[in-house]
Structure 1
C-alpha cells in the first residue's frame, strides 16, 4: 500500500512540474509574441515624442513634412487618437491647404525647387494626399480647392515627364487616385499611368524588378564601389509604398491595375531575398558593403508595403510573414530607442552615400512617417490573424 502511495505521489509530482514547465514556456512564448497592444504602444511612444518636440509653425508643406503627416493620419485612422488628427489638421491649416503657393501659372515649374513657383514639382504636391484624406473625413471645399486647381491644370497639359525621379512616385501617384475619387474624372487615372510609364521607362531594371533613383544612377554608367548595380533602399521604398497606396485607391476595373500589381509583386520578390539576417535592409540593396549597417526608412517602407500586400491578398502570407515579422523585430528592438527616438534613419539624400554616419541617433520626419505606415499595417495584419 505504501509503495502504491509513493508511486502515485511521484507520478503526481512529475505531472505537476511538467505542467509548470509547459506553463512557463507558454508564458515566454506569449511575452515574445507581437501583439496589437505592443504595436500600438510602440507607435504611440515614437509618435508622441515626435509631436512633443516638433512645432507645427516650423513645418511647411514640402515632401518630408508631408510624409510624416501621411503616416500620422494613418495612425489616427487606426488608433482613433484625436490628438493625432488635430496635429495634422493644424499643419494643413498652417499651410492654408496649399503646397507651393504661386498663382502665376506662367511661372509654374516641375524641376527641383523649394520656392513657391515650383507648383508642378511633386515634392510640393504630396500634401494633397493629406488634404484630400482630411476632406473625406469632414468635407469642406476649402480643403481641396488648391489641389483641384493645380492638378486639373497639370492633367490638361501635354507634358508627361513630371516624375523624373522615383521619389516622385510616392509623392504624387496616390494624389492621382484621390483626385479621381474626388472628381470621378478618368483623366486622372489615364495621366497617372502615362506619368508612371515615363518614370518606369527611364529607370526600371527589368532583370531585378527594382528602380534606379534617376537617370544618373543607371548601370553600368553608375556602379557601386565593387562594380554592382546600385539600387538605393529608400528610393525603392518610395516606389514600393507608392504602388501600395495607389492600388489602395485604384478601381480594380482600371485597365492598368494588373500592370501595377505585377511590378509590385516583382519588387516584393526581389526585396524579400535582400533582407539582412538582422531584419533590416541596407542602403544599397545589392551591395551591403557599399554602405553597411541598418537603415530604417527603407526598411519601414518595405515592411509597410509587404504587410499591405499580405493584408490585401497580393502577397502570399506563408512566404512573406517571416520577412515582415523579422523586420518588425528589428524596428521594435533596434530602431526604436528607449526614449522613443526612431533611429538609424538615413538623412535626406539620393543614394546610399558610402561613409555617411547612420546610427541610433539618426532620425527624421519622413522616417517616422514610414514607421507609422508600417505600424498601422502591422495592426491590420495582427487583426487578420
Structure 2
C-alpha cells in the first residue's frame, strides 16, 4: 500500500516538475488523509508566514523560493492561501534582473515559481520572460561563456528553471546549457574527495536541493539525470555523516550551531532522491526522518514560526527567532517529499 501511495505521489510531483500535467486553475489536488501530521505542519508554517512576514511584495530570490514551497504545500495538502498567483501577477512574471549581470543565477529563482504557477495558469505570458532570458543565456553559453554559476547556491536558483523548461519545451539548447554550466561550477566548487561543495551547510543544501529538483524534472533515461544523480549521491554520502544526533546540520558543517534552512534543504534533497529512485531508501530514510523531526519539533514553533535560520552568506549563529522566506519555502518543499514517504499522506 505504501509503495502504491508513493508511486501516486511521485507521479504528481514529477508532472508538476516537468510542467506536463494539465489541470483547471480552480482545481486543487485532493486533500490527503486527515491524520497526516506532515501536511498539518506544512499548512501551519505557510499560514504563519503569509500572516506575519513584512516583505512579501518584493520580487526576490528568497520570496521566490517561499512561493515554490508554498505551491508545494498547496499541491500536497489541497489547502491554498491564494498568495502565489497575485505575487507572480504583480511581478508581471518578470525576473528581477540586474542589467549589468543579465544571466546571474539568483533572479532565475523567480522563474521556478512561475513554472509552478504555470501548472494552474497555462498562459504564455507566465513563462515568456523566463523563456527569453534562458534562451539568451543558452546562446551565450554556446559561445563559450560558462562562468555564470559562481556559488553552489546557483544550482537551486537556476538549474531547476533550465531543466524544467528544457523538458517542457523539448529544447535541447537549454538542457545543453544547464549541463555545461553545471560541469563548470562542479569543477570549480565541488570536492570529489570530501563530497562537499565550497561553503557552509547552507551552500551544500542549496546545491543538493537543486540537483534533486533536476533529477525529478528529467526523464528516467536522460544522461543528464544520471550525471546530476551521481553528484547528489556523492554529496549525500558525506552529509549523512555530518548530521547531528538531534537531526540538524551545523551551520558551518562541523560547528556554528544548529541551522534549519540547511537542514530543510538537505532533507528535501534526500527525500526527493529516494522518491526519484536515485538514493537508497534504507540508507537515507533514517536521515530524512531525523531531519524532519528536528525541523518540526525544534525549528517550527506551535505558532507556525520557523526559526534557527542563518541569513544567506552570514556566519552569525542562528537563533530561535531568526527566519526567512527561503527557509520556510525549503521546509515546505521538504514536506512535499516527506509526505510522499509517509503512510497516510
TM-score range, shorter chain: 0.7 to 0.9
CA shift for structure 1 position 55: 5.9
Q: Is 2:176 aligned against 1:190?
A: yes
Retained in 1: the 8 A contact 2:43–2:79? no
Cα deviation, 1:147-168, whole Å, max 9, x if unaligned, reads 1111111111121111111111
Equivalent in the alignment of 1:96: 92
Retained in 2: the 8 A contact 1:63–1:127? yes
Q: Is 2:143 aligned against 1:144?
A: no
Q: Is 2:124 aligned against 1:125?
A: no
Q: Is 2:188 aligned against 1:202?
A: yes
Q: Is 2:213 aligned against 1:245?
A: yes
Q: Using the alignment, how far apart are the partners of 1:346 and 1:193 within structure 2?
A: 30
Q: Using the alignment, how far apart are the partners of 2:124 and 2:197 within structure 1?
A: 37
Equivalent in the alignment of 2:333: 373
Structure 2 residue corresponding to 1:311, chosen from 275, 278, 281: 275
Larger radius of gyration: 1
Please give the residue correspondences for 1:252-291 in structure 2 after superposition, counting only pairs within 5 Å: 252-285=220-253, 287-288=254-255, 291=256
Q: Using the alignment, how far apart are the partners of 1:298 and 1:155 within structure 2?
A: 30
Provide structure 1 residue ranges, at least 5 long, that are not aligned to the other structure: 1-34, 103-107, 111-118, 214-231
- The residue matched to 1:359 in structure 2 has which SS? coil
Q: Using the alignment, how far apart are the partners of 1:89 and 1:281 within structure 2?
A: 33
Structure 2 residue corresponding to 1:325, chosen from 271, 279, 289: 289
Structure 2 residue corresponding to 1:340, chosen from 299, 304, 328: 304
Retained in 1: the 8 A contact 2:259–2:310? yes
Q: Using the alignment, how far apart are the partners of 1:173 and 1:98 within structure 2?
A: 18
Cα deviation, 1:326-380, whole Å, max 9, x if unaligned, reads 1222111111112211111112325xx2xx2411111111110110011111111
For normalisation by structure 2, the TM-score amounts to: 0.85
Q: Using the alignment, how far apart are the partners of 1:382 and 1:277 within structure 2?
A: 22
* Count of residue pairs brought into register by the alignment: 309
Retained in 2: the 8 A contact 1:244–1:308? yes
Cα deviation, 1:33-74, whole Å, max 9, x if unaligned, reads xx9621112111111110112367x42222111111111111
Q: Using the alignment, how far apart are the partners of 1:36 and 1:169 within structure 2?
A: 35
* Runs of 4+ residues over 6 Å off in structure 1: none
Equivalent in the alignment of 2:319: 359
Q: Is 2:342 aligned against 1:382?
A: yes
The CA RMSD measured in Å over matched residues stands at: 1.8
Provide structure 2 residue ranges, at least 5 long, that are not aligned to the other structure: 1-33
For normalisation by structure 1, the TM-score amounts to: 0.77
Q: Is 2:45 aligned against 1:46?
A: yes
Q: Using the alignment, how far apart are the partners of 1:269 and 1:384 within structure 2?
A: 29
